[in-house]
Chains A and B, each alone.
Chain A
Amino acid sequence: MSEKIGNVWIFIEQEGGVIADVSLELVCKGRELAKRLGVKAEAVLLGDNVGKCVDTLYHYGCDTVFLAEDKRLEPFTVLPYAKVLIDLIKEHKPNILLFGATLKGRELGPRVASEKLAGLTADCTDLQIDDFDDKVNKQFYKNKLMQIRPAFGGNIIATIVNTWDDPQMVTVREGVMKMDEPDKTRKGTLVKVTPKLSNDDVIVKVIERVREEKEVNLKGAQVIVAGGYGVGSKENFKLIYALAEALGGEVGASRAAVDAGWIDHDHQVGQTGVTVRPKLYIACGISGSIQHRAGMDDSKKIIAINTDPDAPIFSVAHYGIVGELNDVIPKMIKAYKAKV
């Protein structure tokens, strides 16, 4: 029992030298877990010419940054990334390894876990440290990572524990962990790593890559006005845009509105979209399926506008307005403009 446990690792995702928000969220969470376990929070940063990210990682709370730079690590492809990670894991034996549940994290995490024969839990929404008394197998595990995630389309919340060798690996949903303020006085230790890549690791070639920055920034928005199936048409979404513009907010949507083709998927809030926690979330014509609520019910204030007084969205709303959007929204815009 006295055996020293490994550190908490965070896989840092970057694109063109810009660290993904979810990675910084995980650095903050990783720091908290590390503190609880009395170990270090360490980042693993892969890419080419990404050294400028290192200080930022210290500021957000990393004690160590493992930096592996190689031109074959840019742009991201799974095989060389998995190779570098596996080599590092074997050498340093971390206790916990966190990935963002992004497209990259969700293809890299399983590849690494499979080779390491480690457990991996997808799409966690909370992480805690606790003991696990496995009564079925009569095993007691101290200080394990509780990997908490929704399952069955969001209808249940499961707590999962990895009972095999370390690392305990998880992918974590974007936007669910709080990002703390960076402290620019914090410093850490840089460990430069020389990737040992062979030709077999780079057999998948990127022929073309087209990427645009998202026009909508739901995660950073203070105010979100979201429309659902009750908006009724693409034309009617102009109302949603008008309210968002008046309040200085972004436009969100439920899956039903996206599936109806009224608005692009980038705007989707919920389990298959983005998780948000703005100061104000105005749900317009959104019935409030469990999948949608999972992506917005941490918002500080929620206003629900719906013609159906029994819509489930009202159960998470702080303010409920039973009425027609065509009537209510213009009144809101008018009242706001008159006041400010």
Chain B
Amino acid sequence: MSYTVIVFVKQVPDTQNITGDAMKPDGTVNRSALPAIFNPEDLNALELALQLKDRYGAKVVVGTMGPPNAAEVLRSSLYRGADECVLLTDRSFAGADTLATSYALSCCANKIGKFDLILCGRQAIDGDTAQVGPQLAEKLKIPQICYIEEVIKLDKKKVVAKRAIEGGYEILESPLPALMTVIDSNVPRPQAARKIMKYKNARTRSELAKDHANANYTDAEQLAVEEDALKQKGLLIYEWSAEDVGADKGRTGLAGSPTKVKNIMSVVLTATDTKKIEPSEEGIKNLVHELIDDHTLG
């Protein structure tokens, strides 16, 4: 039999390479100044899913919630070996905290249908919360295994996996379906040239409409025909709204988020009076003596 593995990924601003103009003078983040990248640990999750596909045979479905241009990470997933992709996008999803996000993703997973495993990266580098994985598992009422390093065995009924714990590791066995969050423990495969050729024209419905905006193809009926043609070729990236996945708008986006941001401050260097010490025998001797005298050392 073949397994169905869903991987949920996120497009994130590259917070690890923040440059000067990334922060606005008022202390808020200028997202447009930051390059959007595939969240690193989500690439590890995708790699694990593709390894399962290689080992056991699996259909790998990659989903993301985000604005229309998040389709970029989905195409990147196709270039690496994913079979199908879903973009979950709707204005009502904006401003979601982790609870509202996990709710929307749970609706998406249910719409995808029967699955054996859901894989997510442990955390995204823009928030570092690591909450969406466990919350999604709870929403779907399935077991969660966090911090996965590798899958040891998968069969029809269960998964056996190795995961990190404080100061060591554990091998856990869980029935299927289950959700696993994956840490930086494998080397994600690069995009394959052959697959880029195959999938470079993969499009969402919105992208299709945009492509044809100049060609008098804007009526819905024509768009549906185009969409179907793309689907036949396996090049359609499914695009679902809140309504498509049956999400209750009271539970998505800002409305569905219990946490509110009261304020945000940019981190400014607190100027400490730095005493300059000469790197000479004398300078360092005096420093060491000062530290012994004030009981810092002793």
What is A's interface to B at a CB cutoff of 8 Å? 15, 75, 77-79, 82, 102-104, 106-111, 113-115, 117-123, 132, 134, 146-147, 150-164, 203-214, 223, 247, 271, 279-280, 290, 297, 300-304, 312, 314-324, 327-328, 331-332, 334-336, 338-340
Q: Does B275 contact A339, Cβ atoms closer than 8 Å?
A: no
A152-B29 contact, Cβ under 8 Å, with A163-B258, A204-B173: yes
> Within 8 Å CB of B23, what residues of A?
155-156
B contact patch SS = mixed
When the two chains form their complex, are residues A318 and B292 in contact, meaning their CB atoms are under 8 A apart? no
With A155-B29, A319-B275 in contact, do A102 and B288 touch (Cβ < 8 Å)?
no
User: Nearest Cβ in chain B — how far from A299, in angstroms?
Assistant: 10
Known contacts A111-B138, A321-B279, A327-B279: A335-B289 contact under CB 8 Å: yes
A162 touching B259 in the complex, CB below 8 Å, given contacts A111-B138, A323-B279: yes
* Nearest B residue to A163, CB-CB: B260
> Contact between B99 and A120 (Cβ–Cβ < 8 Å)?
yes
B151 at the A/B interface (Cβ < 8 Å)?
A: no
Instruction: State whether A206 touches B172 (Cβ < 8 A).
Output: yes
**Residue among B18, B23, B266, B267 with max Cβ neighbours from chain A (10 Å):** B267
- 6 tightest Cβ-Cβ pairs between the two chains A and B: A323-B279, A119-B258, A153-B15, A164-B258, A211-B168, A122-B129
Docked pose: A108 CA to B134 CA in angstroms: 8
Q: Are B279 and A117 in contact (CB under 8 A)?
A: no
Whether, in the assembled complex, B38 has its beta carbon less than 8 Å from a beta carbon of chain A, the answer is no
How far apart are the CA atoms of A256 and B102 in the complex, in Å? Answer: 33
Cβ contact within 8 Å between B288 and A279: no
Query: With A113-B99, A119-B97, A335-B285 in contact, do A162 and B170 touch (Cβ < 8 Å)?
Result: no
Central interface residue in B128, B173, B174, by most chain A CB within 10 Å: B128
On whether the beta carbons of B284 and A113 are closer than 8 Å, the reply is no
In this complex, the member of A78, A152, A159 whose beta carbon has the largest number of chain B beta carbons within 10 angstroms is: A152
* A residues near B29, Cβ cutoff 8 Å: 152, 155-156
Given contacts A316-B270, A331-B280, 19 further A-B contacts (CB under 8 A): A82-B138, A103-B165, A106-B130, A114-B139, A119-B257, A120-B98, A120-B99, A123-B128, A134-B260, A159-B262, A164-B258, A207-B160, A209-B168, A212-B168, A279-B296, A290-B267, A316-B269, A319-B274, A324-B279
Q: Are A315 and B264 in contact (CB under 8 A)?
A: no
Query: What is the CB-to-nearest-CB distance from B138 to chain A, in angstroms, rounded to a whole number?
Result: 4
> Which residue of chain A has its CB nearest to the CB of B28?
A156
Tell me the complex Cα distance, A103–B166, Å. 7
Give Cα A320 to B272, complex, Å: 11
Q: Which B residues lie within 8 Å of A161 (CB)?
A: 259-260, 262
State how many angstroms separate the Cβ of A298 from the closest Cβ of chain B. 11
B262:A331 contact, CB within 8 angstroms = no
Q: Which residue of A lies closest to B122 (CB)?
A: A106
User: Are B167 and A214 in contact (CB-based, < 8 A)?
Assistant: yes
Say whether A152 contacts B262, CB under 8 Å: no
Chain B residues within 8 Å of A, Cβ to Cβ? 13, 15-16, 18, 22-23, 27-29, 97-99, 102, 125-135, 137-139, 143-147, 160, 164-175, 257-267, 269-281, 283-285, 287-289, 291-292, 296-298
A321 touches B145 (CB 8 A): no
Q: List 16 A-B contacts (CB under 8 A).
A: A107-B146, A114-B102, A122-B128, A122-B129, A151-B264, A153-B18, A154-B267, A211-B166, A318-B272, A318-B275, A319-B275, A320-B274, A328-B284, A332-B284, A335-B281, A335-B287
B274 and A315 within 8 A (CB): yes
Quick check: A152 and B126 within 8 Å, CB to CB? yes
Contacts of A207 in B (CB 8 A): 160, 171-173
Minimal Cβ-Cβ distance residue in B for A272 = B128
Contacts of A279 in B (CB 8 A): 296
Provide the residues of chain A in CB contact with B126, threshold 8 Å. Answer: 151-153
**CB pair B135 A157 closer than 8 Å:** no
Interchain nearest-CB distance for B23 vs A (Å): 7
**Residues on B with beta carbons closer than 8 Å to the beta carbon of A332:** 284, 287-288
In the complex, what residues of B have CB within 8 A of residue A108's CB?
Answer: 134
Q: How far is the CA of A134 from the CA of B260 in the complex (A)?
A: 9
Contact between A122 and B130, CB atoms less than 8 A apart: yes
A102 closest partner in B (C-beta): B166
Best-buried of B13, B127, B260, B296 by chain A (most CB within 10 Å): B260
Of all chain A residues, the one with the shortest Cβ separation from B137 is A111
Q: Are A155 and B266 in contact (CB under 8 A)?
A: yes
Q: How far is the CA of A155 from the CA of B173 in the complex (A)?
A: 39
B131 close to A120 (CB less than 8 A): yes
Quick check: A300 and B296 within 8 Å, CB to CB? Answer: yes
Taking the closest CB of chain A, its distance from the CB of B69, in whole angstroms, is 19
CB distance from A325 to the nearest CB of B (A): 10
Task: Select one of B132, B143, B265, B285 contacting A156, CB under 8 A.
Answer: B265
* Contact across chains for B135 and A317 when beta carbons are under 8 A apart: no
Whether the pair B284, A301 counts as a contact (CB closer than 8 A) is no
Our pick among A134, A153, A331 for the contact of B279 (Cβ within 8 Å) is A331
Closest to B274 in A: A320
